[in-house]
Structure 1
Amino acid sequence: MRLFTTWVMGCLWLIAGAAQAENVSGLYQVREPVAGQGAEARAAATSQAFDTLVLRLTGDPKAVQNPALAALRKDPQPIVNQVGSDAGPPETVRVEFDPGSTERALRKAGLSLWGSNRPSILGWWLVESVDGTSLVGDGQPSAQPLRRAARHRGLPLRLPLADLQEQLVADAKHIEAKDPGPLREVSQRYGADAVLAVHAQEIDGKWQGKWQLWLGEGREQGSAEGADPAALADAVMLAVSTRLAPRYVTRPGASGQVQMQVQGMNLPRYAELARVLESYGAQLKRVDGDVLTYSVTASREQLRAQLALAKLREVPAEQAPAPQVILGSVGTSTNEPPVSPAAATEPFDGLRFSW
């Protein structure tokens, strides 16, 4: 086991960059508009940036009201690495928060966090205005407000090409339909985890949007509004974020130690799994050939949802492979004895997954 671990740690750097590419980038960088001029207005924008970050990391709109965060809401400088600005209009403050300090502060406040490994979302955004109806496609100027809103809310958004075939499918009828079949069919080429359909309309000078989100067998829906297309986009992304987060964030006291086995492991998959489990205090306990056993701090529902993002499937107990030779166990001591043969035959009542 120690030979396996040494080999992994020695080679991990070769593929870590590729594994990290699927994470939400810039999760701890927040941009907020400055309402006014002077130091006081910038301080207010910096404080708002903290509120936005807390919502990104917890998915809970009430989290910022936690009394333990009152001091940081008033002055977030203790967890800020850098503050900059972008030229307007409007002027925007750019706040770089320190990930380690931020996470410690939020966990100390009793909050659970949503990690950077999040479901990729393919957005079908149909716009209906006085100028006509159009589908927002990747590379179009109208895509920029959607991308900014997704980054602001910590969501990995993808947009379709909006070619002729996709425009024929993504009409108002299919965008608002409860059956996502036609949209899912044209979405397959993009390989996203979730499909978001939005019908945005300009009504009496305001923007309203009906949205639906499909992730696996689940469906979420709602409506949002905004003063302009950018405000509507932010409202939709906020709603989607708060609906998704409960699948991956376990409330304090709702999680515990869960044993899990993963079949079909190799070096690249080991690195990918380490990234997926980074927020759950995963400890590698045993190696049986290509079957790895972990102990993690999570709920079973949360673990199932998170591993589904990595395209792992749950394996029924009756399909579990027979135990193989145990190489050893992971521990802090370099003189730790190997696992006894009896340990290999201990019953396993945790979750089983396979690539």
Structure 2
Amino acid sequence: MRSIVLFALGLIGFPALALTNVDLYQTQVVLDQSVDKPDAQARIEGMEQVIVRASGMQDSVSNPVVQKALKQSAQYIAQISYGQLDDQQTLKMKFNAPQINGLLSQAQLPTWPAQRANILVWLVEETQSQRAIAWEHTNSAALKQMKVQATERGLPLTIPVGDFDDVTGINISDLWGGFALPVGQASQRYPADAVLVVRASNNNVRWTLYDQAPKTIGITRQAPLSGSNNGADAADKMINQISDYYAKQSSVVVASESSESVKVRFTSLDNAVDFFVLERKLQQLNSVASLDILKIQGNQVTFLVHLLATPSEFEQQVTRMREATPIVVEVQPTIVPAQPEPLAQAGDVSDLTAEQTLPQIIEQAPAVVAPEPMLMFEWQGGKYAAPTPTEPVKEAPAETDVLETDIDA
């Protein structure tokens, strides 16, 4: 009986085993010795790959917040070493996962979870003489290109091994003709969440994605996704389209409240021009991800600054601005007086002992609340004062004596 229960639990949990945990934060970049700083360039390229893989968006590296962070790529690396790939020296990097996720949060970019659907790929290549299935051990340029691009996007692929069961379990005509039921039956031996059938001929790729468990392909009425791509990068385009599809399904945007932030107050803002100049200069700092305006009162403004660096580094960058002068303010802790509690209700005093009737408020110390840290700066932006409108200059009279008369008058 116990074995039957364990077997049933195994069947229930089997579909979840198909999901693959993708390593999003580790990458390897070939060093370009033709540039001045190959290591720095490789760190930027590696961080770009990790951000695209973790966010699921190819254009995520063009985000302004990400662009700032790329200039400080070394701060996001947890491990780094040198390696070899095809007789070329490479830089192996492992980025800090919480920092990358925090960066995506600050940039308001989505996060594609590491648990991703595993896709079984049936690739049929057509030449002038024959059609053949590309197995795991097949030396196929199209298959290699698909694997490389899938690694870049973090899309898990499984290629059939091509053993006796595979060879006898599926016909090339079934794959090429798009017959769903045989495809589903031949795919059930693999722990896959979806099945991708690709038909490649020269530089043309036609594909069909069955986004369902193999055992339901050809049985349910769920319609597959299909597409076609042309050109030398047809395989890359196909992988990008499928990656975008799954990323859109599973990605979430995490709120940025958890990012490291600091409050900063600026005084002596004489006009609106000063405010907008200050806001623009703060947004341009590499240590700043975004700004929130907390309070505007008189000639003072208080910001909540979401940081890409430490608060001390942000303070140093603001101090180097010629318009900002630090203000040292000694903030006294707030003392909250303790509130006495009634010892007993009226009429119950006779039941209390002498010790219990003593005023307990003497023993209660007032609560001390530590002040919230805040940076203070004085803004000296007088030259940014808004221009005052002037009246048009009138032409001088032609006769001098008339001008003198007007002046005397």
Question: With structure 2 as the length reference, what TM-score do the two structures score?
Answer: 0.48
Counterpart check, 1:57 vs 2:54: yes
Counterpart check, 1:78 vs 2:75: yes
Aligned residues: CA RMSD: 3.2
> In the alignment, which residue of structure 2 is the partner of 1:188?
188
> In the alignment, which residue of structure 1 is the partner of 2:249?
247
The count of corresponding residues between Structure 1 and Structure 2 is: 227
Task: Give the distance between the partners of 1:90 and 1:176, measured in 2 at CA.
Answer: 42
Between 79-88 and 165-174, the greater mean CA deviation after superposition:
165-174
Task: Give the distance between the partners of 1:173 and 1:90, measured in 2 at CA.
Answer: 42
Does the C-alpha gap of structure 1 residues 244 and 198 become closer, same or farther in structure 2, counting only changes over 3 Å?
same
**Alignment map for 1:129-278 (pairs within 5 Å):** 129=127, 132-142=130-140, 145-163=145-163, 166=166, 169=170, 171=172, 174-175=175-176, 177=178, 180-202=180-202, 207-216=203-212, 217=222, 219-225=224-230, 227=232, 233-251=235-253
Amino acid at match of 1:60: M
Q: 1:152: Cα distance to partner?
A: 2.4
> In the alignment, which residue of structure 2 is the partner of 1:43?
40
Percent identity for Structure 1 against Structure 2: 25
Structure with bigger gyration radius:
2
Amino acid at match of 1:98: N
Deviations 1:252-283 (A, max 9, x none): 68xxxxxxxxxxxxxxxxxxxxxxxxxxxxxx
CA contact (8 A) 1:30 1:94 kept: yes
Equivalent position SS for 1:62? helix
> In the alignment, which residue of structure 2 is the partner of 1:261?
none
Task: Give the distance between the partners of 2:39 and 2:187, measured in 1 at CA.
Answer: 42
Equivalent position SS for 2:109? coil
Q: 1:236: Cα distance to partner?
A: 3.0
Task: Give the distance between the partners of 1:21 and 1:219, measured in 2 at CA.
Answer: 19
> In the alignment, which residue of structure 2 is the partner of 1:268?
none
CA contact (8 A) 2:105 2:254 kept: no
Deviations 1:115-168 (A, max 9, x none): 111111101112224574321112334465544433222122111133567457
Q: 1:85: Cα distance to partner?
A: 3.5
Does the C-alpha gap of structure 1 residues 210 and 21 become closer, same or farther in structure 2, counting only changes over 3 Å?
closer
CA contact (8 A) 1:176 1:199 kept: no
Task: Give the distance between the partners of 1:97 and 1:69, measured in 2 at CA.
Answer: 15
Task: Give the distance between the partners of 2:120 and 2:244, measured in 1 at CA.
Answer: 17
> In the alignment, which residue of structure 2 is the partner of 1:104?
102
Structure 2: segments with no counterpart, 5+ residues: 1-15, 213-221, 256-409
